[in-house]
Amino acid sequence: MAANINPTVRRRRLGAELRRLRQDSGLTSTEAAVRLMVSQPKISLLENGRRAISPRDVRDLCAIYAVTDQQVIDSLMRMAKESGQQGWWHAYGDIPQSVYIGLEADAATLYAYEPMVIPGLLQTPAYAQAVIEETFPPLTADQAATLLRVRLRRQHRIYDPACPLRLWVVLDESVPRRVVGSPDIMREQLEHLNALSAEPHITVQVLPDTVGAHPGLSGQFSILKFAGSPETVVYVGRFTSDVYLEKPSDVQHYGVMYEQLQAQALSPHRSRAFITDAIKTYINAASRALTE
């Protein structure tokens, strides 16, 4: 598969375009389903990018929607063919958050608010392993190892020399203070975090407890933007299911929330100083442990 082809994003963009064409034709999803001789839920799944669509289905839908521009039809059929291919993550089997991983792999910019842990893209192997082993349901050693490999493979996006992901993260103050794994793992993780935050395409801010109530109290969320596309997706992670929001009103709401979090958080410079102080506490704790 070509390196610039992301099946998840292509499928979603194709679905959005088919939805637009259906709406322009004046047909409801139920009417389109009847004419295509499929169920209405299938049309909804296709338009939401949650189900692969064949070039033949695209051709038939274009006929139903009275699309006559052959260039448009050919472009949509090409997207259908590409969206049927598999991304790198499929080689690891049925893994959690596969839809999100596909979006993350194609995103140009990612804004994330994390109230509990260091984001996966910025985790060290030891920290990531501790998170996987301590937060997931009971896993076999092979399952845990697979999840770790996937998480570390995702990090290629921020190291891509040709097109690194622009990453902006706001962390709750409790994140660097929460001991995940061990104090030594935390020291290593925070040193890694500070080193990455010095990169021009990565920004890390810490949201101090002193701000009181804030827009992030409802939990973790991410905003993904894509190059050459007006599409923006808000991802809200949950333990058993994930939520993807694309309505302009929802996207705007979360965008305003994130701007408020950025404004309330410490500056990037002061955030690095805060994290450095947290590193010192772990170093001091280790020194005391040796002398006791």
Domain ranges, ordered by start, for the chain: 7-86, 90-291
Q: Which residues contact 198 (CB under 8 A, 6 or more apart)?
A: 272
**CA 163 – CA 119 distance, rounded (Å):** 20
- Name the CATH architecture for the domain at 7-86: Orthogonal Bundle (1.10)
pLDDT at 268: 98
Quote the pLDDT of residue 243: 86
Q: Can you tell me the distance from the alpha carbon of 133 to that of 48, in angstroms, rounded to the nearest whole number? A: 33
Amino acid at 136: F
* Residue 7 CA: distances (Å) to CA of 34, 53, 54, 146, 168: 27, 11, 13, 21, 25
Write down the pLDDT at residue 1.
34
CB count within 10 Å of CB 264 equals 17
Give pLDDT < 70 ranges for the chain: 1-9, 83-86, 239-240, 292
pLDDT at residue 94, rounded to an integer: 78
CATH class of 90-291: alpha beta
Beta bridge partners of 202: 167
pLDDT of residue 73: 87
**CB 189 within 8 Å of CB 127:** yes
**7-86 and 90-291 in the same fold:** no
What's the pLDDT score for residue 252? Answer: 96
Going by the DSSP 8-state scheme, the letter that residue 65 receives in this structure is T
Going by C-alpha positions, the residue among 178, 123, 175 that lies closest to residue 150 is: 123
Q: pLDDT digit string (tens) for 25-48?
A: 999 999 999 998 888 888 888 887
Structural tokens at position 109: 């910019």
Q: Which residues contact 226 (CB under 8 A, 6 or more apart)?
A: 9, 106, 107, 108, 232
In angstroms and rounded to an integer, the radius of gyration of the C-alpha atoms of the chain is 22
Per-residue confidence (pLDDT) for residue 173, from 0 to 100: 97
Residue that the structure tokens 């993807």 belong to: 244
How confident is the model at residue 161, as a pLDDT?
84
pTM for the model stands at 0.78
